[in-house]
Amino acid sequence: MSQDRLLRLKCSVCKGANYYTSKNKKLVTKKLALNKFCKACVKNTKHKEAKITG
């Protein structure tokens, strides 16, 4: 995965960062939001795009 396209997905319920993914920034202009399984909440929740720090 290219570092400039790398995104972090953050749980909207517990605010835990569980997943990393990438997106094509030329084609997709909106923020990414996916339903993923959160290990902390132990259920499927909406995960939203968050900044990578560091």
Identify the CATH assignment for 3-50 out of 1.10.10.10, 3.30.1360.120, 2.20.28.120, 1.10.3470.10. 2.20.28.120
Tell me the pLDDT of the chain (54 aa) as tens digits.
667 778 899 999 999 998 999 888 888 888 889 999 999 999 999 999 998 876
Would you tell me how many other CB atoms lie within 10 Å of the CB of residue 11?
Answer: 21
Contacts of 10 (CB under 8 A, 6+ apart): 16, 17, 18, 47, 48, 49, 50
Q: Are 47 and 38 in contact (CB under 8 A)?
A: yes
Give the neighbor-by-neighbor strand order of the sheet with 43-50.
Answer: 17-22, 6-11, 43-50, 33-38
